[in-house]
Structure 1
């Protein structure tokens, strides 16, 4: 079978750090073009917009959209209407409601739409899911704290409306949470800390529960210095189950059950090629819905202005 010819839209930090090496390492997919306003890649056709790429004579089958979420719906709709399969970086869009029409368009055209949650492909996530399916869960605590100046240097879009602020990284935790817990999760309350000069929160606490009323708390911070924290601790009838390192490591009462090298984006592209071959889509909006609900229920507090 011929490889899937992929065009990458948006060539920023996440595309260079994660997408390019994962594409190169994945059988059955080949990068054939770049569409980016600010960057190009030696040896590949380059266009400043997706519209220009679609109007060219470059043959391709699919696009990976790595642009900020605020404009992703328009790009996805354009690509699907042109008969291209679409991979969406996380979050899949700036709102929950804008994704529904994309799902319908993909279905009508017989195309694949894949809303990626890269943290679900971390090596310890599926072992954690299997372990927790056999345990009685008492409480869940999420600690997701990182330094925005390190991971998103100068990226003002992340604090613009639709950029999600601290929820841009924290949605990774929510994507893991909604994968490993056996029952649906919903938000019960939140406090969101907005810098005086920004339109998205820089820190937050979110209270949640599942359908069995298990209490879940998330402590989120975008100004963490020193060691970064990407941890989910689940207290169970058999002790503490801890996913650390963003889902890379799983322990139970301090005993290591899983600890493997990170390969999240390789997993994403393997899954994407499999979806295309099977004629299927994969669009789970539950992590984005939790973020939207945190904004709906959250009490807003104003904190010091933030500048890079």
Structure 2
């Protein structure tokens, strides 16, 4: 057996504690050895204020997992790549398409792995849905992604600032599934962005898309839904309806449930990261981020009521 790959986690917020830490603990091919975070540390591990301090003090760390907000992540990832460390990026992989492309070029030149992750693609039903749709005659696709921002992102002001994506932070999860299960590319034709008067990023959005062969795809994203949350993708085909529910955890063929499984998305991401490092490969698919960028380019901005926590 080979020794596990030594890894440092940068950013120790909610997603890191709820998903990354337990997933790393269940991934024998990786070993968490250090933390970099401005405001937190982890008992039993060396902790540093920022990635520069970590890189200087921990020359044996082989890989870095970045769980920080997308704004400013380019500099962190670039520093890790220059130090010849493999890098895993939380979604969205960056604040812009071009900066992640630049990181991919840097990683290739440095001979290290860059993994731009899309955790929702690892939901239990996604690959089976992809297989079912490969030879299907798809007639339309609808996305309904609605949740309560106060529950999922309390006090996170960065998410409302330029580069934070607003409602597209969860919405990009749906787009990552869409771009995985569709047998052909889609592009944006129109969008609307509902932006609170006191914020810079949208709280609601709609998108109209179309595939290369003309299949219509529509999406509705909303951060104002209370009560039960909605994360559904409905695919109409000539043979019936295929539905991914609960963010891809459940799969239905008509009324027949085919899949329901527990959440192992981040465990699968970390296993994949270790595999990529071992193979000397990178995985940087920017199609979900490109769709969001195009929605901002083509979207009609609609000012709505101010948002307050």
TM category, shorter: over 0.9
Q: Unpaired segments of 5 or more residues in structure 1?
A: none
Give, in whole Å, the separation in 1 of the partners of 2:39 and 2:154: 16
Give, in whole Å, the separation in 1 of the partners of 2:256 and 2:98: 42
Q: Superposed, which structure 2 residues align to 1:71-150 within 5 Å?
A: 71-150=72-151
- CA deviations on 1:103-125 (whole Å, 9 max, x unpaired) are 11111111000000000000100
Query: TM-score, with normalisation over the residues of structure 1?
Result: 0.99
Q: Superposed, which structure 2 residues align to 1:169-188 within 5 Å?
A: 169-188=170-189
Q: Superposed, which structure 2 residues align to 1:31-110 within 5 Å?
A: 31-57=32-58, 59-110=60-111
Give the match for residue 241 of structure 1.
Answer: 242
Following superposition, the deviation at residue 57 of structure 1 comes to 4.0
Following superposition, the deviation at residue 58 of structure 1 comes to 5.5
Give the match for residue 266 of structure 1.
Answer: 267
- CA deviations on 1:105-150 (whole Å, 9 max, x unpaired) are 1111110000000000001000000001121000100000011111
Query: TM-score, with normalisation over the residues of structure 2?
Result: 0.99
Give the match for residue 19 of structure 1.
Answer: 20
Following superposition, the deviation at residue 257 of structure 1 comes to 1.3
Give, in whole Å, the separation in 1 of the partners of 2:189 and 2:255: 30
Give the match for residue 220 of structure 1.
Answer: 221
Following superposition, the deviation at residue 2 of structure 1 comes to 1.0
- CA deviations on 1:138-166 (whole Å, 9 max, x unpaired) are 01000000111111111010000000000
- CA deviations on 1:274-302 (whole Å, 9 max, x unpaired) are 00000000000000000000000000000
Following superposition, the deviation at residue 5 of structure 1 comes to 0.4
Q: Secondary structure at the match of 2:247?
A: coil
Give, in whole Å, the separation in 1 of the partners of 2:60 and 2:277: 17
Q: Secondary structure at the match of 1:142?
A: strand
Following superposition, the deviation at residue 262 of structure 1 comes to 1.1
Answer with 253-262 or 123-132: which moved more. 253-262
Cα root mean square deviation, aligned: 0.7
Give the match for residue 283 of structure 1.
Answer: 284
Give, in whole Å, the separation in 2 of the partners of 1:7 and 1:140: 40
Give, in whole Å, the separation in 2 of the partners of 1:60 and 1:152: 31
Q: After the TM superposition, which segments of 4 or more aligned residues of structure 1 sit over 6 Å from their partners?
A: none
Structure 1 residues 190 and 57: alpha-carbon distance in aligned structure 2, compared to 1, 3 A threshold: closer
Give, in whole Å, the separation in 2 of the partners of 1:103 and 1:125: 26
